[in-house]
Amino acid sequence: MPVRRHDFSGPADLRAMQGLASRLWTPASRFHPGQLAWSRYYRPVDPMGLDDDEAIALWTDGGEVVGFGWAEAPDWFELQVDPARPEVAAEVVDWFEEVSDAETQSALVMEGDVAEQALAAAGFEPHADEPFFTHHELDLADLPPVPDVPGYTFRHIEPHEARARAAVHAASWSDVGPSKVDERAYEQLMGAWPYRHDLDWVALDADDTMVASALVWLDPAHGAGLVEPVGCVPEHRGRGLAGAVTLAALHRLAEVGASVAQVSPRGDDDYPGPQRLYRALGFRPRARTVTWRRSLD
């Protein structure tokens, strides 16, 4: 049966993409299923449709997804292809040229990814010196204890707390620009697989206000958790809350049967803070991304 391509048509396709990510997952692979859920629902969306400048396509063989491309903008896309089907990577790259009218196009893949040959053949070139992400791994058997932070407590959220949970995330990222995460977006996120409210943790101050948060996604097929995202509101920083709430979530992750955790902070020297935080918790670097770019002018 030939490989077939179809355009994104709703939550079932996201779930199929997550199935490929789960099937291929290692600490060095591009996507964890939770990352795809976050990328889809970090802002309010039409579950059945995409933004005007966005495109997603899936390639299937006999009902099994063997690759997908996600053009988040006309000049930027990401892809994942089954390493056993390298020919699909060329089809994904050709598809992006069809849907993009940008004069300069960029793609983000893992270093050594099966798609690199297809990108090179299409005229893309690697830019390893640009900002990149480093996948870090932590064996949950080596988890340090959750530190006591005077004046604060930690707990997982409840299903009815989407508004407050969205608010603490938005406040935590306010210094880098307005967040698109609101109550509606968080309700959609909470309805997406593999979200679990018992793996969504917050730190509360003496007034019982959420001031820091850490969301962990569990892929039960591998017993692998992804930390994405973590934040602390600016006025409560410097107390170790981001690390402590992350550890609280990771201890719950271990309790529900996971064995390993992953996080993917920036790895370049221009944004070193998150990487230092996670390494202090015991995470160790495993693999990095590389941006590939071509100009069509």
Q: Do 144 and 282 lie in a common domain?
A: yes
Residues 98 and 144 in one domain: no
**230 with 271, same domain?**
yes
169 and 67 both lie in a single domain = no
Task: Return the minimum-mean-pLDDT range out of 17-26, 229-238, 268-277.
Answer: 268-277
Instruction: Read off the pLDDT of each residue in 10-18 and give the average, rounded to a whole number.
Output: 98
Q: Are residues 148 and 117 in the same domain?
A: no
Question: Is the domain of 131 the same as that of 148?
Answer: no
pLDDT digits (tens, 9 = 90+) for 280-296: 999 999 999 999 999 98
Phi–psi pair at 61, nearest 5 degrees? -135, 110
Query: CA nearest 109: which of 167, 30, 203?
Result: 30
pLDDT band at 215 (very low <50, low <70, confident <90, very high): very high
Q: Looking at residues 222-234, what average pLDDT do you find?
A: 97
Instruction: State the pLDDT at residue 64.
Output: 96
Query: What pLDDT shows up at residue 1?
Result: 62
Q: Can you give the CATH number for the domain in which 43 is found?
A: 3.40.630.30
Shared domain for 260 and 181, answered yes or no, is yes
Looking at residue 2, what is its pLDDT?
A: 87
186-213 mean pLDDT: 98
Residue 78 CA to residue 55 CA, distance in Å, equals 11
Say if residue 18 is in the same domain as residue 98.
yes
Pair 226, 90 in one domain: no
How far apart are the C-alpha atoms of 108 and 79, rounded to whole Å?
8
Task: Identify whether residues 157 and 230 lie together within a single domain.
Answer: yes
Residue range 29-51: mean pLDDT, rounded: 97
pTM: predicted TM-score of the whole model, two decimal places:
0.96
Is residue 271 packed enough to be buried (19+ CB in 10 Å), middle (13-18) or exposed (0-12)?
A: exposed
Q: Tell whether 101 and 145 lie within a shared domain.
A: no
CA-to-CA separations, 45 to 51, 184, 186, in angstroms, rounded: 8, 9, 11
Residue-wise pLDDT tens digits, 141-184: 999 999 999 999 999 999 999 999 999 999 999 988 889 999 99
Q: What is the pLDDT of residues 105-133, one digit of tens each?
A: 999 999 999 999 999 999 999 999 999 99
Mean pLDDT of the 243-270 span: 97
Number of domains the chain is built from: 2
pLDDT of the residue at 209: 98
245 has pLDDT over 70: yes
Quote the domain boundaries for residue 83. 4-135+290-295
Q: What is the mean pLDDT of the chain?
A: 97
Average pLDDT score over residue span 25-45: 97
Task: For residues 34 and 50, state if they share a domain.
Answer: yes
How confident is the model over 43-62, as a mean pLDDT? 96
pLDDT digits 0-9 by tens, 61-106: 999 999 999 999 999 999 999 999 999 999 999 999 999 999 999 9
Residues 102/75, Cβ–Cβ less than 8 Å: yes
Q: What is the 3-state secondary structure (H, E, C) of the chain?
A: CCCEEEECCCHHHHHHHHHHHHHHCCCCCCCCHHHHHHHHHCCCCCCCCCCCCCEEEEEEECCEEEEEEEEEECCEEEEEECCCCHHHHHHHHHHHHHHCCCCEEEEEEECCCCCHHHHHHCCCEEECCCCCEEEEEEEHHHCCCCCCCCCCEEEECCCCCHHHHHHHHHHHCHHHCCCCCCHHHHHHHHCCCCCCHHHEEEEECCCCCEEEEEEEEEECCCCEEEEEEEEECHHHCCCCHHHHHHHHHHHHHHHCCCCEEEECCECCCCCCHHHHHHHHCCCEEEEEEEEEEEECC
Roughly how many angstroms between the first and final C-alpha of the chain, as a whole number? 38
